Amino acid sequence: MSSSQSLKKVIRPIHLWAIGVGLVISGEYFGWNYGWGVAGTIGFLIATLVITLLYITFIFSFTELTTSIPQAGGPFTYTHRAMGPIGGLIAGYATAVEFLLATPAIALALGNYLHFLHPSLPVLGSGLAFYIILTVVNLLGIKESALFSLIITLLAVVELLIYLGIVGPSFKTANFLHDSMPFGWSGVFNALPFAIWLYVCIEGIAMVAEEVKDPHRNIPKGYISAILTLMLLAIAVMVFTGGITDWKSLSAIDYPLPEAIGVVLGKQNGITKLFAGIGLFGLIASFNGIIISYSRQLFALGRAGYLPGFMSTLSPRRRVPVTALIVGGLLGVLALYMGKTDQLVILSVMGAIVMYILSMTSLFILRDKEPGLERPYKAPFYPWFPGIALFLSVVSLIAIIYTYPMLSLIFFGGLGIALGIFIGMGRHKHSAVINLVS
């Protein structure tokens, strides 16, 4: 890999924790509550516990891949190495869909939060403004972007702890248990995608692996500290919020936490308005983290020849993937104006789950195919941890396809088009498009 295509190594464990938590923390602010609408509180709690097990086993297994092959392509790189060019294409497509569609979902939530505060502000216009601002922040350089992620993520975590302190005293078990499983076990099945939203994108840490100092030691620290932080916050926020009022009133809005504080303190209370304002921190943290991730994914796909070569262009001085940042932002803005929040959430989650299946399969293949590969960190309880993660990912994918057939058709239709172009150009005949692990 030439120096002209090398990213800058400046990221430390605290930045990895911030990027990992920041990538996901918006999921604690909105999106998950749609799961109540299809499962009820207990139904969604069961779905969340299942998905929490998926992510614990997945992250402890995925860390083996990230530390063994610390490249910006992340899952695309691992799957290409294990399964060849077509496997790499599918993983690259799935990962790009996951991250590119998560950002407009967050942009819509940001717009709704601002509209909640100031009804004169347009939802779509506000989302567009955040795209422009945060893309510019990332063009300044990874060091600046990682520092921004650290500050904004710390503020977002503190805010969630304050939220729990405000609503906790008003928690009533009767509220949480009222009509808590209206759709039975089928509701639990249908709620899995929204439970995934509580954790989805944490694997984006892999996209900055080339920019981490001492990646073999520091990447596991970042992954494990991030997933433990998110697990505690996700379950606490979901349970406490479900116990303060009739959960049905919070199950179909993009700003459940400010609404919940409004129930406890009154909507005109100054703390309610203040919380809604600083509630933007969590959404901005995820927005910024996902921009980092999708730009590195598009950069890696361009460098490998899966996308046009100009996608791998780096700015000369700051060494950031300038073209990938701009193109990713334009694609996200297009989705912002075309999709609804819950639809974008489902499509993003579907991309994630397909990528998880390919990543865990690649882990098993590489253990057999390359037993001599240096593995600074090995998945604990192998083969059980990656096996559990793989099984639960397959179950989740089946749930999404069964529950959302039209969105599944869009996702797999797009994949079919990408495969057709790839094969038509003859790229599948190359055993290695580029030396991905140099």
386 preceded by a cis bond (ω within 30 of 0): no
Residue 6 within a domain: no
Could you tell me what percent of the chain has a pLDDT over 90?
29
Residue 358 CB contacts under 8 Å (≥ 6 apart), including other chains: 75, 79, 83, 87, 90, 91, 94
195-226 burial by CB neighbour count: b if 16+ within 10 A, else e? bbbbbbbbbbbbbbbbbbeebeebbbebbbbb
Residue 85 within a domain: yes
pLDDT score of 164: 92
pLDDT score of 7: 54
CA-to-CA dists, residue 298 to 2, 65, 85, 356, angstroms: 18, 19, 16, 18
Residue 49 within a domain: yes
Are 38 and 190 in contact, with CB atoms under 8 Å apart?
yes
pLDDT category of residue 428 using cuts at 50, 70 and 90: low
Query: 104-118, 221-235, 238-252, 343-357: which has the minimum mean pLDDT?
Result: 104-118
Q: What is the pLDDT of residues 124-153, one digit of tens each?
A: 888 889 888 888 888 887 677 777 778 888
Question: Rounded to the nearest 5°, which phi and psi values hold at 212?
Answer: -95, 135
Residues, the chain = 438
Decide which of 277 and 157 is more confident: 157
How does the average pLDDT of the chain come out, rounded? Answer: 85
Query: 4-18, 65-79, 166-180: which has the minimum mean pLDDT?
Result: 4-18
Q: Measure the CA–CA gap between 418 and 424, rounded to whole angstroms.
A: 10
Residue in 244, 242, 237, 248 with CA at minimum distance from that of residue 264: 244
The angle subtended at Cα 328 by Cα 322 and Cα 334, nearest 5°, is: 140
Q: Domain holding 331: CATH number?
A: 1.20.1740.10
Residue 213 within a domain: yes
pLDDT category of residue 361 using cuts at 50, 70 and 90: very high
The domain total for the chain is 1
One-letter amino acid of 297? Q
Residue 2 CB contacts under 8 Å (≥ 6 apart), including other chains: none
Residue 381 within a domain: yes
pTM: 0.84
Could you tell me what percent of the chain has a pLDDT over 70?
93
Residue 4 within a domain: no
- Per-residue pLDDT for 426 more than 80? no
Distance, first Cα to last Cα, the chain? 6
- Per-residue pLDDT for 169 more than 60? yes
pLDDT score of 232: 93
pLDDT category of residue 8 using cuts at 50, 70 and 90: low
Query: 2-11, 222-231, 339-348, 419-428: which has the minimum mean pLDDT?
Result: 2-11
Residue 7 within a domain: no
- Per-residue pLDDT for 434 more than 50? no
Decide which of 47 and 11 is more confident: 47
- Per-residue pLDDT for 378 more than 80? yes
- Quote the domain boundaries for residue 369: 13-425
Mean pLDDT to the nearest integer, 376-396: 94
Mean pLDDT to the nearest integer, 9-29: 82
pLDDT category of residue 9 using cuts at 50, 70 and 90: low
Residue 433 within a domain: no
Q: Where are the beta strands (DSSP E) in 167-288?
A: none
